[in-house]
Amino acid sequence: MAALCSACKGITPQALAQPDGYRHIDSAHDLIHLAKVCDFCRLIRLAMDQDCRTPKSDEQLRTNTKPEPLYLFGVGDGLDTAEDAPGDGVQPPMLFGINVHIPDIEYDYDLVKMSLFSDHNSAPARNQDVIGTRLLTDSGSSEAFGLVERWYDTCKTNHKDCNEAFTGPETSLAKSGSNIMPPLPTRVLDVGPADGSGEPKLLVTNGVHAFYAALSHCWGKQRILTTTSHNLAQHCNVIKFASLPRTFQDAIKIVRFLGLRYLWIDSLCIVQDDADDWRKESVQMGRIYKDAEITVAASGARDGSEGCFVPRPPLQPVVRLPYGDPDQGEYMSATLFPDALDTTVSETPLGSRAWITQEWMLSPRVIHFTKARMVWACRTLLKCEDGENETSGDEQRLFESARRYRQAKEAKPKSDSLVDHEEILGFYADWCDLVSTYAARSLTYESDKPVAILGLATEVGKGIAEEYTSGVFHDDFLLHEAFHTHCVLTQLLWFAKVTLTRPLALQDQPHWSWTSTIGAISFLAPARAAKSCIRELNRVKTSGSASAWRFSVRLKKWEARREGDPSTRSGDDYYFMEFYPKGSITYGGFVTQNTKLFSGRDMTPGGWMVFDLNEWPAEPFYLAEISNNEFNEKPDGSNVMFLSEIEPDLGDGSDRRFKRLGVGQKLFAWTLDLINGDINLNFLHSDTGYVGTLSSYQLVAPDYPIDLPDFLPLISAYAPPKSHRSPLRRVAPGHTQVQAPPRAIMRRSSTLQYFNNKTSAFYVDGTGIPDVDFDVGESYAGLIPVDASKPESEQQKNFFWFFPTENPAGKDDVIIWFNGGPGCSSMEGFLQENGPFLWQYGTIKPVANAWSWHKLANVIWVEYPIGTGFSSGNVTATDNAETADQFVSFWKNFVNTFDLQGKKIYIAGESYAGIYVPYVGAAMLDKNDTSYFDVKGAVYYDPVMPYDDAMNFDHAAFPSFYRYWKNVFALPSGADKQIEQDAKNCQLDEYFNKHLAYPPPARPWPAANVKEECDIIAHFDAISTIINPCFNGYHILDTCPVLWDVLGFPSIMYSPPNTTLYFNRPEVRKAIHVPVDYPTWSECQDPVFVDYNDNYNGTEHEEKFQTLVERTNNVHVGSGLADYVIKPNVTTLAIQYIKWNGQQGFQKQPSEDLLIPTVNNVDENVPSWAGANVQGSVHTERGFTHSTAKISGHMVPQYAPSVAFRHSEFMLRRVDSLSAGAPWSVNISTTFQWPY
């Protein structure tokens, strides 16, 4: 049995199942020492670190958690019903997991999940107290097959809903407990006897009925075995088992074990080089997967060579917990759940394929073989191998909404066409969600776009009693009903999220349908109040099997031209919000990277548009008004479609032909009143690929052209399309959100320095920033990609906020600011250190910052690297060099967007930016391209320095740091003696005094001595809060009370109840062009490196530092003397160890004062006050400067803003000395009006 503390010995299933949970240890801080002696407490510590880049130190645990009890809650299976429940009716717990609630400073509690399991036939399992099971080591083992068989048998016997398809409960042939067998597909693989004594072969079924399985798999890039017209006869004779790809072999083993004789595999059962056979069989795929007994999904395999049973990652450690009478030796076991990326089916290699949308959705049962565990998915439950329940996805939601829609229809007589509108909205919201998901998935063959979802659409259509035609569901019986017209039009109003293509392979698809395109799309989804502008909606048959939508609609011909940058035209105001209907802004507009705004000849805002192929039409085009919106019961613009004419009016009564260009929205200020008649617009489904035809109605009045002198991209090529709240019902993956300012108050473009077509998407209204009651001036914010050439789904984007300077001396200077972490947001530096406005701890609202660095130069605050703050995309970097390369790519895109070529670059930051700054600086300098990367200097604070951790400088420097601040710490006498004893036992003073010398002793140095019995840092951490329970390692001068921080961690981690972090507020996100539904922002978060490992290299770090210093001779490191996190004398030790410009360390001892000129602190802006006179020390040698700030903590620009401002002046060469006390180069004032 494991070594357990008293709290862990008391864990029982019944205690875990209590509504209030099981009270574990009395304080989360006790985990620090209990994890060293108790196996289960150690497991909790491991679980806390499972999703972190690096394990949390004891100091971090103490800092992040409250000294309050831990509570453990059992996680049970709410879907299962216990067998043989006791006669008293008490339900056994049936647990498969434990949720540990750890009291957290910022978020009330942190949730840690653990797996709970028991051995088969053990007492916990027999009593159904614990139903979780241990993960198997091999998904191809007999134990794994046995589990799949139990799932399969239980589902067949007990799950009524799993035999119901979209077409209703009585239409599925393979009913539970029934011997009615479905017709086999045209061909199936006969897998032979269950004992494997016969070779597989292809069977032409000729209408035979039998049970069968299907395979869902990735073809991949490797060539796999297929059936062609040349080997069809041979395959019908025999297919050697050994010749099959491993995935096929594994699937056959599973199918044989389940007692099934037949398996359908697309590559073998369809003749791949026979177009007619493919066409005939592909339309049957919906039925094939629907009627299959089970679908085997090789979800973890990238191609056929990897098999279903992919190698699994090592199992997590297991801790045994006592169960029942200790003398009986019974136990239950706890461990960690596997990594979500290895198990979530939608994130697997197979989950990225478009074909699986219908394969998984229509299959009554799917067994997924992922990298870490098996997942059973049927209509009733989603169950993992270890007992955990998965969450449902788009497929399950659509099944439910289709069923509710069908039931709503069936509940009313056929003569009554008014069905429940909520069910209609719900279904179409889910259908649009699914189509958006489907369109973003990959296809090997572009021609499969309409086919790979046709089977699903056909079955759904049967279930809801509606027909499906080229992407549109419709009920001809209800076409005269306004609400059904609304739903049809909703499906026509799709738009491109990215630049789409219309490949030749899809030329038979109508242009009005998304099935004619390749690329991610979304839907306008007009609000319920949208009123149709069309009349007489009908569907008519045309030649052959084609059909057309026929209705009357008003058209307007446009004579449009494109002109130059509007910012060069004085007197023109561009109000982004005025281009959007109010409802679009309130509920989330529909904007992508290719969105354009349009206005009339008199510059009256007209609306916005997105062209499908992002191509400007060479000829005049047309606007068709589809539906009108309402907002607060008032007219609110219309939803429109843009068309180009293919065949002009010949005057002989023949049809004119048009094709779709895109969609958008038009304001009511822009009317079509100049048209004196309606035109019938017919959306035609034909082999021509044309959108539609126009009937012979003629315009009575002449067609007046409307000039479009300016088309402004609202979101540039670098803007982030993200999901928005669908007015239909729920968030639709792939929908996008308008990122307009919260108020239509803009500066004239002639007064803005950087406002133009490329940058307008990022413009921030300086008067519209929430809670900021003054104009902060011109700025730009948003996301720009690292590599804009990648597909949207693969892009990585950095969030930035850019403030141009109005200081003539700084027009050609750009400062880049990083915070640390790794993974800490530069928005902390922006909002609480050196940005234009401050929201300091414990204050009620932001105030103007007298010490904003943008008074000196253009400043950009960047959330770096990818994974930090709002910066989005898959984390792919494994070390700091890779993150620097990614930033260099981002920076070039940023420079191109804002036309900053040739500017002088200065890099600044703090903490872990001690790595960021030299790595990024060196990466830029190594490009040898001064157009983009003319790095001239750097300043950074309290930094991670090369080698400081490996050399144990933190321990060596601590005794002198402690004695300097001894009166502040005010530790009890016994604690003070412990500190001094540790210093003596580890000879830390001797080491420190020897190596902190001028000049320093030559390298190599030994590392400072650190032993468990004299671990001075650990001992101090354990007692640091005895006298001062509010001890703040970032600024040791702080005492209680703890002040609220609007940004949360790491300010001492206190947030009052019911408060929201500033950057999680929707109105803030809208103001700075961040999608409202982006993930939760936190000041520091993980991961920013793959596997949370930055692969740090001290030698490489020193080389980057040397490059930056030796090529600029303008690098400055500042240290706050009141910083415990990175102590100032740790930095001085590191400086004396490293080399630059030919020598090691400083040769002379620092002796000069850091002198700050007079500061006016008499105004009312108290949060912006700062100190003057002698504020610290400074020393410069060989192009490198180190300074200290007397009472500053870890963030010098926050705790000593005047000092940091003077540092910035020195870096920019606005002052020659840090010790002369020269006057400020600008007026230090809290106003933002020039002159400063």
Longest dimension (CA), the chain: 106
Q: 1143 pLDDT band (50/70/90 cuts)?
A: very high
Cα–chain-centroid distance for residue 504? 34
| 584, pLDDT greater than 80 | no
Q: Hey, what are 66's tokens?
A: 């409250």
| 175, pLDDT greater than 80 | no
| 54, pLDDT greater than 80 | no
Q: Which residue has the higher pLDDT, 537 or 1158?
A: 1158
What confidence score (pLDDT) does residue 1168 get? 74
- Identify the helix (H) or strand (E) that includes residue 98: strand 95-104
Contacts of 678 (CB under 8 A, 6+ apart): 535, 552, 553, 554, 697
Asked whether the beta carbons of 724 and 592 are under 8 A apart, the reply is no
What confidence score (pLDDT) does residue 335 get? 92
Question: For residues 671-687, b (16+ Cβ closer than 10 Å) or e, as one string?
Answer: ebeebeebbbbbbbbbe
- ω before 413 within 30° of 0 (cis)? no
Nearest to 75 by CA among 121, 113, 119, 25: 113
Domains contained in the chain, CATH given? 6-126 (no CATH), 142-310+343-391 (no CATH), 549-732 (no CATH), 749-943+1091-1115+1139-1211 (3.40.50.1820)
- Catalytic annotation present for 1019: no
What confidence score (pLDDT) does residue 1184 get? 98
Contacts of 1095 (CB under 8 A, 6+ apart): 878, 879, 880, 1089
Residue 797 β-bridge partners: 785, 872
Q: 357 pLDDT band (50/70/90 cuts)?
A: confident
End-to-end CA distance of the chain: 71
What confidence score (pLDDT) does residue 1162 get? 59
Main-chain phi, psi angles of 1052, to 5 degrees: 105, 10
User: Average pLDDT of the chain?
Assistant: 82
Q: 56 pLDDT band (50/70/90 cuts)?
A: confident
Q: 916 pLDDT band (50/70/90 cuts)?
A: very high
Tell how strand 934-941 and strand 71-76 pair up.
unpaired
Asked whether the beta carbons of 1063 and 1075 are under 8 A apart, the reply is no
Give the up-direction half-sphere exposure of residue 220: CA atoms within 13 A in the CB hemisphere.
Answer: 21
Main-chain phi, psi angles of 487, to 5 degrees: -70, -40
Mean pLDDT for 685-691 is: 31
Q: Of 1123, 1177, 1192, 1225, which one is the catalytic site residue?
A: 1123
Instruction: Report the alpha-carbon distance of residue 888 to residue 472 in Å, rounded.
Output: 45
Q: What is the DSSP string of 483-545?
A: HHHHHHHHHH-EEESS--B--GGGTTS-TTSGGG-BS-EEE----TT-EE--EEEEEEE-STT
Query: Could you say which DSSP state residue 1130 is in?
Result: H
| 1136, pLDDT greater than 90 | yes
Q: What is the DSSP string of 691-750?
A: -EEE-S---SS----------EESS-TT-----EE-SSSSEETT-------SS-----GG
Instruction: Report the alpha-carbon distance of residue 976 to residue 972 in Å, rounded.
Output: 6
Q: Is 973 exposed, middle or buried (0-12, 13-18, 19+ CB in 10 A)?
A: exposed
Asked whether the beta carbons of 566 and 711 are under 8 A apart, the reply is no
Cα–chain-centroid distance for residue 585? 22
Give the up-direction half-sphere exposure of residue 29: CA atoms within 13 A in the CB hemisphere.
Answer: 13
Q: Hey, what are 1077's tokens?
A: 């539904």
Give the up-direction half-sphere exposure of residue 1144: CA atoms within 13 A in the CB hemisphere.
Answer: 16
Asked whether the beta carbons of 955 and 1017 are under 8 A apart, the reply is yes
Asked whether the beta carbons of 936 and 906 are under 8 A apart, the reply is yes
| 166, pLDDT greater than 80 | no
- Identify the helix (H) or strand (E) that includes residue 939: strand 934-941
Name the percent of the chain lying above pLDDT 70.
81
Q: Which residue has the higher pLDDT, 134 or 1193?
A: 1193
Q: Is the dihedral of CA 174, 177, 180, 185 positive or negative?
A: positive
Instruction: Report the alpha-carbon distance of residue 765 to residue 9 in Å, rounded.
Output: 59
Q: Hey, what are 1177's tokens?
A: 């020390």
Q: Which residue has the higher pLDDT, 165 or 355?
A: 355
Q: 595 pLDDT band (50/70/90 cuts)?
A: confident
Residue range 938-987, pLDDT digits in tens: 999 999 999 888 899 999 999 999 999 999 999 988 888 999 999 999 99
What confidence score (pLDDT) does residue 171 get? 46
Mean pLDDT comparison of 641-645, 897-901, 1047-1051, highest-scoring range? 897-901
Q: Of 299, 516, 760, 911, which one is the catalytic site residue?
A: 911
Q: Of 217, 724, 735, 1194, which one is the catalytic site residue?
A: 1194
| 1224, pLDDT greater than 80 | yes
Mean pLDDT for 1041-1063 is: 74
Q: 343 pLDDT band (50/70/90 cuts)?
A: low
Query: Could you say which DSSP state residue 832 is in?
Result: I
Residue range 437-477, pLDDT digits in tens: 899 888 878 888 998 998 899 889 988 888 898 889 988 77
- Catalytic annotation present for 911: yes
| 1109, pLDDT greater than 80 | yes
What confidence score (pLDDT) does residue 809 get? 92
What confidence score (pLDDT) does residue 445 get? 83
What confidence score (pLDDT) does residue 87 get? 46
Q: How far is CA 37 from CA 2, 40, 57, 58, 316, in A?
A: 10, 9, 17, 15, 19
The residue type found at 746 is: M
Contacts of 477 (CB under 8 A, 6+ apart): 414, 417
pTM here? 0.52
Mean pLDDT comparison of 391-400, 691-700, 1026-1035, 1227-1236, highest-scoring range? 1026-1035
- Catalytic annotation present for 1194: yes
The residue type found at 338 is: P
Cα–chain-centroid distance for residue 67? 32
Q: 571 pLDDT band (50/70/90 cuts)?
A: very low
Beta strands in 990-1140 (DSSP E): 1115-1120, 1139-1140
Give the up-direction half-sphere exposure of residue 251: CA atoms within 13 A in the CB hemisphere.
Answer: 33
Q: Which residue has the higher pLDDT, 1189 or 90?
A: 1189
Q: Which of 327-341, 665-679, 1013-1027 has the lowest mean pLDDT?
A: 665-679
Q: Which residue has the tokens 């990652």?
A: 313
Q: Which of 620-629, 669-678, 846-855, 1000-1009 has the lowest mean pLDDT?
A: 669-678
Residue 640 β-bridge partners: 625, 664
Classify 1080 as helix, strand or coil: coil
Asked whether the beta carbons of 853 and 813 are under 8 A apart, the reply is no
What confidence score (pLDDT) does residue 1067 get? 93
Instruction: Report the alpha-carbon distance of residue 475 to residue 490 in Å, rounded.
Output: 14
Q: 740 pLDDT band (50/70/90 cuts)?
A: very low
